[in-house]
Structures are given as structure tokens and as C-alpha cells.
Structure 1
Amino acid sequence: MISSIQGCCLSRDPSGFPHAAHADQGQHAESFQGTNPATEGAGPNTPGLSRSLSRSRSNASTSRPPHSTRRRHHAVALSEHYNQPIRLHVWRSKRRAWSKAQIDRERQEFFDTRVTGRPEVWAALKLAISLMRSGDLPTAQSIIDAAGVTVPTGDLCDGCYDENGALYRLPQVIVSDPSNIVDARGGEEDMRSGEADDEVTNTKLAMDIDSDDELEEDIEDKREEKGKRNERDMIKVCARLSDRGGPDLTIEIGKDQSVGVLVRKIQSGAALTGQHRLRIAYLGKILKENETLLSQGWKEGHLVNALVLQRSS
């Protein structure tokens, strides 16, 4: 009985299960190859496969920028400020002929009428500019550095900054003399305030400022005689005089009237003598007398500074 059972068991093919396993593996392998037709029949030395693989590698390498290139954009720290050694500004005047006396007077008035920025910075700039004109650039540079002034281009006319980032603008005539400076003979002509941009020649006769003022007053009177101005065309300007503690002076002028009209009315209202000249400043800028307030950025209701200056003898 036992031997018959053993014979029955031994009569089975012992390799049946392994055959089934090999068959299953073959089916899986065939199905895998069937889903990848691109690699079917392709050996390791197949030219098409080699070209496709090399192409994919090159695309992957070029699609990613190098790490060093990405870091190059952040090479300069945000806290750093561009600063260049100062140099003398060279220029040629095209709008007017400057004499030495006129330039000296213009520079004195410029630094006397600064109402914005730090006074110690303006004082340092004034001294440094004087040293630059005399040729002592090293000492001028040391003063600029000691004051904490940054000059991004090295040219003061392009603007400079203090430690707080405030901008200080300096006109060309303040920084250096023009290359075509004229040699004045006899007395210096008194230039009408606010007309620094007007063209003059050496042969032009100097007109007295008071005569100019009287002439313009006559013109304004004739204009007003032709008809009363509409109230909508009038503006009230509050002026604060620099030679006194107050009160402020309120002047009414037409919107289309020039700053020169405002100057004369302030001189009359403040009882200023002929020994003084008046300049109007707004937001740190000296206004031109031959233009209107509105054309130079003044807003209604804003205060203007009336700078009372001693007329040079």
C-alpha cells in the first residue's frame, strides 16, 4: 500500500513547477519588450540608441545653468555704495560769458542759500571744492571721506550723497571755472538775479538793476490797466523772509506773472532798501525770476523762502 502511494507520487514529473515558472518569466519578459518597441532588438552598440542617449544627455546638461553662473548675480552686497575718487569737472559755458567776479559772487550766494541737507556736509563740500580748484585733490578727497560723502561717478556735478542717502546737487559753475572764462575790464556788471541762464556777450552794456525793475514795473502796470484780473487768475503766496523772525508776508499776484513780480512786491511790503537783493527759494531750489511760480513746481498754499542778501558793492 505504501509503495503504491510512493509510486503514485513519484510518477509525477518533478520538473513541472519549474517549467511553469520559466514560462511565466518568459511571458513577463515578452510583455516588457512589447511595451518598449524602441529598445526591441537594439543592442549596446546600436547607432540609433547611442545617438538618442547622447542627445538626451547633452540636452540635460545644457538645460541646467552652472551653479557658479547663478551665484554671479549676487556678487555685490546691497549694503555697498559705489564711490569713486573725486576729479575736477571740465566744462565750457555755452549760455553765457562768465567773469571771475561773477563766478565768485554766484558761489557765495549758492552756499549762503542752502536750505536743505546738512550744514556740515555743505561746509565740507565748499572747502573740498575750493581745494580742488587750487589743485590739492588729495586734501579735498580726505575732506570728502571724513564727511562721509559718497561720489558715485567721481564728478561732483553728477550728484553726491551723505551717509543718510540725501542727494546734494552742485551746478557746474560752483564746482569749477569754465574753460572760456572772460577777463572783465573795469567794473563788473551786476547780473539781474534769477537770469543766470541768459546769454550775454562781452560787448553788452551792463544795465542797472533798479532801472530794469522800474521798466518791468511799468510794463506790468500797463498790462493791468487794460483790465482787472479775474480772481480765479490770482494766487496768494506766503513768503518767509530770512532776515527776521516773522511775521510771514502774504503777497497776491497773477498766476501768469513771473517770480520777478513777486520779488518786487515782497521788497515793497517788507520795506527792503536798495542795499539788499532778494532771491526766492522753494524746496531747496532758487527760482528763476523770468518764469512763473507754477511753471517751476510751486503748489498753491505752499510757503516760499525769501532770502534777503546784502548787495555786493
Structure 2
Amino acid sequence: MGGCVSAQRSALADGRSSGCRTKKRGGRNEPLKKERPKWKSDYPMTEGQLRSKRDEFWDTAPAFEGRKEIWDALKAAAIALDSNDHQLAQAIVDGASITLPHGSLADCYDELGNRYQLPAYCLAPPLNLMSERSDGEGVELSQQAPPRKEFPLKVRLSTGRDVCLSASMADPIGVLKRQLAAQERIEAAHQRWFFSGKLLTDKTRLQDTKIQKDFVIQVIVNTAPPSITK
């Protein structure tokens, strides 16, 4: 009996579980709160970017620590909470024996004492979330977009000419392609934009490329669409 108590104290001291049954870390279990965290992204984030960020977290989190079945339960609860189904989220948490010391999925424990922390972007969209349009532009949902800060963007064509465009860091490449098409009569479909050796897709925004205002973007111009190989 004495050995078991000693093992419990040692396990609690260094944060590990032992062969003896230990008390859940946190000491209390609060009901899941309906309130979700309020946060703002470093840059206006589209719905697609938010989904990609969440998918990346759920794909990689189980590989580091904790139990996969708990991660799966937390993902299901977070999705239910994001869909305003609080009752389902609470049922999932209870069914997986997850302890919420503060009533939030942001910080919780399983029955073995393992700790799980979910980032705010998995629990709620940012305040500056933007909806996506078919033309590649976005409209911020929660608040008016800040004033557009334009700067001259230099692009170097494969034909040997340098062209200056009016751009902002929030502009997607697709929009800039259309500007170049209107200015130089080069169809957007015949343009391939590169920066630091990386191909830039139409939905890539300048701020995602980490480009500085005095840098140059390379544009490969194809006079004819590439042939399709079978």
C-alpha cells in the first residue's frame, strides 16, 4: 500500500501516469461552455485557409502525444461546437471521459491524466474571417476591411521587360494576373508567376509569399497554352 502511494506522489510530481490509479489532473470537471474564444488572425483569413489550418492540426496533433481516440473525440466535439450543437459536443466529451477543468476544449485531460490543448482556430473562426468569391477576392464577414495600402510591385517578364503593377499585400495572384493582362495584353492563362523558385497559385496572396516591397516577381509568359500529353 505504501509503495502505491509513493508511486502516485512521484507520478503526480513529474506529470506521468503510473500503474496505480491516480486522480485526474486539474482536480475538477466543468461542463462545456457554449462561449467560444474570440481571436483575430495576423492577417484576414479566408474560410478555405481556416479549413486548411484546422486540417493540418488534426492530421499532425495525434503524432506527438496523447491517445488517438481522444484526439478523434476532441475533433468531433470541436466540429459539433462549431456547428452550434452544444448538446452533441458535451455528449462526446462525456462519452470519452474527457475532463474540462475550465469548461473549454482549449485545455483538457483524459482519464489517464494526459493533457490536450486545442488552438483557438480549431474552436472558432477569427474575427477577421473573409468569405471567398469565385473571382479569388474575399469579403470580411465580421468587420469592414482595413483601407487598401497599395505599393508598386515590379514583375519581370520572361520576354525581358519589367512591368510595375499597383498591388497590396492582401491581393491574390489571380487578381494581379488580370491586372497584368489588362495592362500588357497577356492573357492570365498564359502567365506563370514565380517567387524564390516557387510557383505561385492564383489563390496565393502576396502576404503569404513573404515578399518585400522592393523585391521582383518572375513571370513566365507562354504565348500558347501547353500541349496535353496522353
TM superposition score normalised by structure 1: 0.36
Q: Which has the higher contact order (CA 8 A, sep 6+)?
A: 2
TM superposition score normalised by structure 2: 0.48
Q: Which has the higher helix share?
A: 1
